[in-house]
Structure 1
Amino acid sequence: MNKKNIITVTFIALSLFLVLNSCKNKAKESNTTAASSSSENKDEETVYASDVIPFFDHWKLILGDGSNVGIANNFENKDFFYVTHDDDSDWVVFKTPNAGDTHGTSNNTRTELAQTKKWYPKTADDKLSATLKVMNVSATGDARVAASYSVVVGQIHSADKHENEPLKIFYKKFPGHTKGSVFWHYEINTAGDDNSGRWDFSTAVWGDDFSVVGPEANTYPAEPKDGIALGEAFSYEVAVKNGIMTLNFMSEGHETKTFTKNLVESEYTKTSDIPEQTQKLFVPLGQDGVERANAYAGEGCFFKLGAYNQTNGKSPEENKNWCSGAETHDGNLKKQYADGNYAEVWFKTGSISISENAVSNEGYFTKND
């Protein structure tokens, strides 16, 4: 082989080596980039509330800005509704400020699920259960106002006539206390067309009921015995069958409590039936109505679940039971969240059972959205 041929073969071999090595390096670089991209996608993958509690087909979600986002599968909003991880479990966070745009006619903000179907108590066989922990209630309020420092974590709501509430499940904790109270309310379905005389009757589960308030705006009552702390899990079960509502409350280290209430036959049809608690709380405000004899019979009812903040910025002069005079920073969300003027509730589990007699609840949303 002459010198020219030797040079040519050497050049070809060197070129082939460089091409193959380049391809190998590009393949390695491509594999590394793909692995990196896959890892980043995995880290950024969102866990949605509907992944944690797969029952969102049955609800529409109202946010703390008053908006109805509809059925919340694969949905999150970092201001109001998202998933967090704690104690080796995922929890669905419902968060809402003391003030902002509200849903319907309410004075209070909510991040809350509302059932898409309604059922009728007399023919019902419907059930809601949940395990949750309250992580925050408002840092401010008027201690004389019964609703201050409280949040509603579950409800039964009427979709018809007055749209009253045969059930509200509350958590309430005064500033400086370690333990708070869990209690439930029954609101009368007021007789007649004037609903201004409606009132609630409160029953303690653990701790005190709604009526225990402070003697002064910044003076608090004694801390409740057998109360529930912020961050302490508890569960409720609400069942309505053949007109009877049955409530079960469970929490580790606390006595399990069971209550029943007839939703289709009233015990408050006469002024003389008004309980002493109501005489003290509501009657002085002119809320002294009586209930229609068949209570919630014939009205479509539905479940709600989430964080319905009961502490607002309205003046206690308007209503000593419901207007808390709390800090709202004129509705500024970031400022309210920064100094603790909000409600936050985490749900670990939830389930709903719906009877065949349930029908669409779309009319309620049409009226209130």
Structure 2
Amino acid sequence: MIIKTVKSLSQALLLVALTLVLHSCSNPDEGSAIETVVYPSDVIPFMDQWKILLGDGTHTDEVEDYEAPNFFYVANDGEADWVVYKTPNAGVTSRTSSNTRTELGQIEHWTPETGGKLTGTLKVKHVSTSGDARAAASYSVVVGQIHSNEGNENEPLKIFYKKFPGHSKGSVFWNYEINTEGENAKRWDYSTAVWGHDMSVVGSSPKTYPEEPEDGIELGEEFSYEINVYNGIMYLTFMSAEHDTVKFTKNLLQSEFTSKAAIPKQILTLYVSLGRDGIERKNAYAGEIQYFKQGAYNQTNGKDPEDNMVWSTGSAIYDGDIAKQYANGSYTEVWFKEATVGPGTAPN
């Protein structure tokens, strides 16, 4: 009786094993490892509130579960996943710019009076290694901004990272663009240093660079920013583990640049030779619709610096061939680990 039971059990087990083998053969892919795609929206889950423009001109309003190899994707540095924004010196640009970007644009709009808040924790991995040291925008990238959606469509805020070739450390600074009354050709940006230099510190010749900033930020060094617009006042906070926290306040409803006498010396150095010596309307950006942008807005381009020593950087663009630009350092790359967007809040 015991022998028969064991024999019957063995036969049953053999039948089960044979069935599993046959099933496996009929489904050769079953049981193999399934590669899981990690999307930028898995790392920073606010992508439903944005649209995006890539450096090759691709744009989409559906950023959830979306990636674009070579422009917008996820990378891991061994400790965490990061959202990568990468864009060449030359590609397809937006309607109002000569510079390429792989950058989010906020779908919801607001006014300075109603406010908004944007935060980001990032590290800049690469800026263009070609450019003209005399041109203020060379070797830089904008990693966050506020953009107006009406009037002259100026920018009350652009946050930059800039590093000259051969330097270990670069600078973080922010620019405020005046909102001129009527005709906009005389507008200018006023630049304020966070760590390192402001935008006005340039080289004396195309390949002669200024002194390296002692308190600068290295490529790959993590830092954070918070842009908080509340009741018409812009509150900026910049944080880094290796640097003191720095804060700024700027009124977006009342201008401090309403006369020629109020134009800062920095502007007389950078812009007046270009005919940019305008003044701002008294109520600055009051009542104008605004929105946030975040990512990598490359500030280098192939335009001749002799035409504009602020924004034309003469960078190498390899006839617009993106693969060649990436291979030869003619691109910018920014990694974000964390970011949030929402309404403005009362400052602490």
Which bin holds the TM-score, normalised by the shorter protein?
Answer: over 0.9
Matched residue, 1:28: 21
For the pair 1:152 / 2:142, whether they are aligned, the reply is yes
Which digits, 9 at most, give the CA deviation of each residue in 1:94-121, with x for residues without a partner?
0000001111220000000000011110
In 2, Cα distance between the equivalents of 1:27 and 1:287?
Answer: 78
* Residue equivalent to 1:105: 96
* Post-superposition CA distance 1:171-227 (Å, at most 9, x none): 0000000000000000000112x1100000000000000001110101111111110
TM-score (norm 2): 0.92
Alignment match, 1:10:
none
CA distance in 2, matches of 1:326, 1:57: 35
Question: d(CA) in 1 for partners of 2:77 and 2:18?
Answer: 43
2:160 corresponding residue in structure 1: 170
Residue of structure 2 in register with 1:317 after alignment: 306
Other structure's SS at 2:145 match = strand
Give TM-score, length-normalised by structure 1.
Answer: 0.87
Distance 1:19 1:310, change over 3 A: same
Counterparts in 2 of 1:114-129, with a 5 A limit?
A: 114-124=105-115, 126-129=116-119
In the alignment, structure 2 segments of 5+ residues that lack a partner are 1-9
* Alignment root-mean-square deviation, CA: 2.0
What is the number of residues matched between the two proteins? Answer: 336
Residue 266 and residue 84 in structure 1: after superposition, are their counterparts in 2 closer, same or farther (change >3 A)? same
Q: CA deviation at 1:231?
A: 0.3
| Paired AA for residue 89 in structure 1 | A
| Separation in structure 1 between the aligned mates of residue 13 and residue 230 of structure 2, nearest angstrom | 76
Name the amino acid aligned to 2:310.
N
- Distance, in Å, in 1 between the alignment partners of 2:26 and 2:300 is 51
Q: 1:158/1:176 Cα in 2 relative to 1: closer, same or farther (>3 Å)?
A: same
* Alignment-derived partner of residue 181 in structure 2: 191
Residue 159 of structure 2 contacts residue 175 of structure 2 at CA under 8 Å; is this kept in 1? yes
1:65 offset after TM fit, Å? 1.2
In structure 2, distance between residues paired with 1:73 and 1:277: 42
Asked if 1:140 is matched to 2:133, the reply is no
In structure 1, the residue corresponding to 2:113 is in which secondary structure? helix
User: What is the one-letter code of the residue matched to 2:21?
Assistant: K
Q: Deviations over 1:124-174 (max 9, x none)?
A: 2x1110100000000100000000000000000000011000000000000
Change (3 A) 1:73 1:33: farther
Residue among 198, 201, 209 paired with 2:198: 209
The 1-side partners of 2:246 and 2:131 are apart by 29
Decide which structure has greater helix share: 1
What residue number does 1:236 align with?
Answer: 225
Following superposition of structure 1 onto structure 2, how do residues 4-83 of structure 1 map, counting pairs within 5 Å?
Answer: 24-28=17-21, 30-31=23-24, 37-41=30-34, 44-83=35-74
Distance 1:348 1:234 in 2: 10
Quick check: 1:67–1:103 contact (8 Å CA) kept in 2? Answer: no
Letter in 2 for 1:30: H
Is the Cα–Cα contact under 8 Å of residues 114 and 304 in structure 1 kept in the other structure? yes
Alignment of 1:288-307 (within 5 A): 288-307=277-296
The equivalent of 1:84 in structure 2 is 75
Larger radius of gyration: 1
Runs of 4+ in structure 1 off by over 2 angstroms are: 17-26, 28-40
- Whether contact under 8 Å (2:170, 2:196) holds in the other structure is yes
Cα distance in structure 1, aligned partners of 2:229 and 2:26: 57
Question: 1:329/1:128 Cα in 2 relative to 1: closer, same or farther (>3 Å)?
Answer: same
What SS is found at the alignment partner of 1:121? coil
| Letter paired with 2:23 | S
Relative distance call for 1:240 and 1:36 in structure 2 (3 A) is: same
Gaps of 5+ in 1: 1-16, 357-369
Out of 62-71 and 129-138, give the one that drifted further.
62-71
Counterpart CA distance in 1 for 2:46 and 2:16 is 51
| Shift in Å, 1:31 | 4.6
Q: Distance in 1 between matches of 2:321 and 2:169?
A: 29
Quote how far apart the aligned CAs of 1:26 are: 4.9
Contact 2:178/2:188, CA 8 A, preserved across alignment: yes
Is the CA contact 2:114–2:230 (under 8 Å) kept in the aligned structure 1? yes
2:4 corresponds to? none
Report % sequence identity: 58
Report the 3-state secondary structure (helix = DSSP H, G, I; strand = E; otherwise coil) of the residue aligned with 1:284: helix
Is 178-187 or 81-90 further displaced after alignment? 81-90
Alignment-derived partner of residue 283 in structure 1: 272
Q: Whole-Å Cα distance in 1 between the matches of residues 121 and 64 of structure 2?
A: 20
Deviation at 1:355, TM superposition (A): 6.3
Q: Distance in 2 between matches of 1:195 and 1:242?
A: 26
How far residue 29 of structure 1 moved from its aligned partner, in angstroms, is: 5.5
C-alpha separation between the residues in 1 aligned to 2:58 and 2:325? Answer: 19
Go from structure 1 to structure 2 and tell me whether the alpha carbon gap of 1:252 and 1:19 turns closer, same or farther (over 3 Å shift): closer
Any conservation in 2 of the 1:191–1:289 contact (CA below 8 Å)? no
2:80 & 2:29 partners in 1: Cα distance? Answer: 27
